[in-house]
Chain A
Amino acid sequence: MAEISFSNLSKNYGSIEVLRNINLYIKDGEFIVLVGPSGCGKSTLLRLIAGLETITGGEISIGSQIVNDLEPRDRDLSMIFQSYALYPHMDVARNMGFSLEIRKENKDKRQSLVAKAAKTLGLEDYLDRLPKALSGGQRQRVAMGRAIVRKPRAFLFDEPLSNLDAALRIGMRFEIAKLHQKLGATMIYVTHDQVEAMTLADRIVVMNAGEIEQVGTPIDLYEQPQTLFVAKFIGSPSMNIVPASQSDDGIELPGGKTVKPGGWSKNLNPVQLGFRPEHLSLVEIGKADCTGKAIVTEHLGSDTFVYVDVKGWDPVIVRQRGNSNIQSGTELGISFDTSRLYMFAKDGKTIRGTDT
């Protein structure tokens, strides 16, 4: 169990700067999820913590110890790889007990620890199989088992569920959440999956092009994105972003009406306006803020996403509860929840209204 912190961390490969200016403090026992577009440096950051890559600037400390030059084996962390990286020539039991074998624990202790982990993960029946005789989900659990047989200072996960099918993913997500509750260990988790990030994280770290864009609880990021990038990245389907032109009494909408986002004042000069699909409602044309034609509707059962073509904007997505029956081509009226409108400045920062 340990806290982990980075100060001014950076990483270059030759002249390529992959990470820069990373500052973060992770509390003991916290579940941190790293998200960001492909290539933004999530895996690299994880590997720096693990010690599998050497850092080129700044400091990493685990507990109160600076670990910049510590070998991976001396950092006492567990990592779960996307590829699982199971040892193909060892059976499941030996795979799981490998770290104990390395530490020269005696056989009885090894067996009992492996059995305990196997029980937690439902692997008791597979202990003497080789990894090649396991399904993807079972392999994933062996990889988890290998990590939990000992009590490392922290767990690192690099997209551990991305090779599983949807149903297994949900199951394993639940297992990981339970595991975190049970062990109370610090966990750092990389994922591309919005739902994993939102459900598992105590705090989410959004990364972009080698830098930390914003850190916060899932709800923070959802409700108060500090930048356009975070606003677009968090939430699924993502926030609608449209160009904003300002007039004296608010932001002009196609069709001539204006809206005043919460905290509006004249000198904010937003260039873009953002609103989430779930904060739009479909209303009668006469009461609408603006209108458009339905292009496509996607039915998920619980929700319906309606793509609306509003003149001058990219298609706007509206989320409807339940199963609403809208024919494409129908003229629809859209109404905004003005307290849930986001304004973005030219530099991509969110503009805070005067009274929010």
Chain B
Amino acid sequence: MEGQTIKSANNTVLGRNSPRLSPHRKTSMFSAKMRSVFEPWLYLSPAIILLVLVMFLPLVIGFTYSFQHYSLFRPNDITWAGFANFEQLWSDWKFWKALKNTVWWTFGSVSIQFILGLGLALLLNRTFPARRLIQALVFLPWAVPTFLSGLTWAWLFNPVIGPLPKILYAVGLTDSAYESILADPAIAMWGPITANVWFGIPFFAITLLAALQSIPKDLYEAAAMDGASAWQGFTKITLPFLAPMIAITVMLRTIWIANFPDFIYTMTKGGPANSTEIVATYIFTTAFRRLDFGYASAVAMVLLLLLLAYAFILLNMRRIQAKG
């Protein structure tokens, strides 16, 4: 995708520059041609160099690591490994478990965030007193550092001093007021998901609200005259208008969340018994706890590939839908 941006940017620069170059044509056709080819690249070079440094280089380095035995416990024994890391990964139950957890974590978070975010956007799109103030307040979770939020949520779930276990018991969702949710492998994932939902709703709310506000009001009036109920107005006007925004935000959030270890790391550290370990945290612990950079890089490559495939499929679906 990066390559594509550079190329298209380059094309526009070229197109805009060529007429200005015409005076040179008289002196030397050849050098003018060379200039018209290289000049735009020259202008782009700072951006290209920066992109290469911050995006490509790490990617390439990570890619090469994944084919090496590269462990900081054995710094003198760094050798090419071929596909050994990937073979190990194939039979690593922790990886497969992490992958499954990633799917749960990602789609659980994204779908709840999306539904609640859409609901919130619809609410905020109405006129009511102090609307601006409330709109501003809604976006507060984004202003809190994620590690702080993670620790706060861990505390909220704390069975001894946290209020949530008592509330959940009071409404009848758990069997004990001292239920330790984050320590129960069957339900521990709901802890970080809850924190993530709280954190992610504003993103959906803000983007969907912007899209909602761009829908002309008279369409709803026309629909009402045509006999549409509020629900029909929503499904036949609002949703089609929001569809492009929904597709792009859901895709972005999916990728971000699949890659987002902060809450899990601060709340459960992947435990208990790997029940909340996702690929992103698994990479983190493999690289920075077990210091096995080679294996961590191999896992990261697989995650990258999966996410690319996901983005590709989603974008294609969107394209087909836009055409049909």
B residues with a Cβ closer than 8 A to A are: 216, 218-219, 221-229, 232, 236-237, 240-241
Chain A contacts for B224, CB-based, 8 A: 51-52, 71-73
Are the C-beta atoms of A102 and B222 separated by less than 8 Å? no
A57-85 contact mask (Cβ, 8 Å, vs B): 1 or 0: 00000000000000111001111010101
Q: Confirm or deny: A229 has a beta carbon within 8 angstroms of a beta carbon on chain B.
A: no
Are the C-beta atoms of A103 and B227 separated by less than 8 Å? yes
Q: Confirm or deny: A197 has a beta carbon within 8 angstroms of a beta carbon on chain B.
A: no
Chain B contacts for A78, CB-based, 8 A: 225
When C-beta atoms are compared, the residue in chain A nearest to B229 turns out to be A73
Are the C-beta atoms of A85 and B227 separated by less than 8 Å? no
Q: How far is the CB of A311 from chain B (nearest CB, A)?
A: 52
The distance in angstroms between the C-alpha atoms of A87 and B40, with both chains bound, is: 43
The distance in angstroms between the C-alpha atoms of A103 and B232, with both chains bound, is: 11
Chain B contacts for A50, CB-based, 8 A: 221, 225
Chain A contacts for B226, CB-based, 8 A: 73, 98-99, 102, 146
Chain A contacts for B236, CB-based, 8 A: 87, 98
Q: Confirm or deny: A89 has a beta carbon within 8 angstroms of a beta carbon on chain B.
A: yes
Instruction: Return the contact of A87 from the options B222, B225, B229, B232 (Cβ within 8 A).
Output: B222
Interface centre among B227, B228, B241 (most CB of A within 10 A): B227
Chain A contacts for B225, CB-based, 8 A: 50, 52, 72-73, 77-79
Q: A72-B225, A102-B232 are in contact. List 14 more A-B contacts (CB 8 A).
A: A50-B221, A50-B225, A71-B224, A79-B221, A83-B218, A85-B216, A85-B218, A85-B221, A85-B222, A86-B222, A87-B222, A87-B237, A98-B226, A98-B228
The distance in angstroms between the C-alpha atoms of A89 and B242, with both chains bound, is: 11
Are the C-beta atoms of B218 and A99 separated by less than 8 Å? no
Contact flag A102-B228 (CB < 8 Å), given A81-B218, A85-B216:
yes
Q: List 6 A-B contacts (CB under 8 A).
A: A73-B224, A73-B225, A73-B226, A81-B222, A102-B223, A146-B226
When C-beta atoms are compared, the residue in chain B nearest to A97 turns out to be B226
Are the C-beta atoms of B222 and A79 separated by less than 8 Å? yes
Chain B contacts for A103, CB-based, 8 A: 227
Q: How far is the CB of A347 from chain B (nearest CB, A)?
A: 39
The distance in angstroms between the C-alpha atoms of A103 and B241, with both chains bound, is: 22
- Mostly helix, strand, loop or mixed at chain B's interface? helix
Q: How far is the CB of B218 from chain A (nearest CB, A)?
A: 4
Instruction: Return the contact of B221 from the options A52, A89, A98 (Cβ within 8 A).
Output: A52
Are the C-beta atoms of B219 and A85 separated by less than 8 Å? yes
When C-beta atoms are compared, the residue in chain A nearest to B228 turns out to be A102
Chain A contacts for B229, CB-based, 8 A: 73
Are the C-beta atoms of A89 and B240 separated by less than 8 Å? yes
Instruction: Return the contact of B227 from the options A81, A86, A87, A99 (Cβ within 8 A).
Output: A99
Contact flag A73-B227 (CB < 8 Å), given A87-B237, A89-B241, A102-B232:
yes
Which 9 interchain pairs have the tightest Cβ spacing? A99-B226, A85-B222, A85-B218, A72-B224, A79-B225, A102-B227, A73-B227, A89-B240, A98-B226
Chain B contacts for A52, CB-based, 8 A: 221, 224-225
Chain B contacts for A86, CB-based, 8 A: 222
The distance in angstroms between the C-alpha atoms of A71 and B228, with both chains bound, is: 10
When C-beta atoms are compared, the residue in chain A nearest to B225 turns out to be A79
When C-beta atoms are compared, the residue in chain B nearest to A149 turns out to be B226
Chain A contacts for B222, CB-based, 8 A: 79, 81, 85-87, 146
Chain B contacts for A72, CB-based, 8 A: 221, 224-225
When C-beta atoms are compared, the residue in chain B nearest to A72 turns out to be B224
Q: How far is the CB of B231 from chain A (nearest CB, A)?
A: 11
The distance in angstroms between the C-alpha atoms of A73 and B232, with both chains bound, is: 11
Q: How far is the CB of B220 from chain A (nearest CB, A)?
A: 9
Interface centre among A51, A77, A99 (most CB of B within 10 A): A99
Are the C-beta atoms of B218 and A73 separated by less than 8 Å? no
Q: How far is the CB of B12 from chain A (nearest CB, A)?
A: 25
Chain B contacts for A81, CB-based, 8 A: 218, 221-222
Q: How far is the CB of B275 from chain A (nearest CB, A)?
A: 44
When C-beta atoms are compared, the residue in chain A nearest to B224 turns out to be A72
Chain B contacts for A87, CB-based, 8 A: 219, 222-223, 236-237
When C-beta atoms are compared, the residue in chain B nearest to A94 turns out to be B236
Chain B contacts for A83, CB-based, 8 A: 216, 218
The distance in angstroms between the C-alpha atoms of A13 and B240, with both chains bound, is: 33
Q: How far is the CB of A293 from chain B (nearest CB, A)?
A: 51
The distance in angstroms between the C-alpha atoms of A206 and B228, with both chains bound, is: 33
Interface centre among A51, A78, A86, A102 (most CB of B within 10 A): A102
The distance in angstroms between the C-alpha atoms of A103 and B227, with both chains bound, is: 8
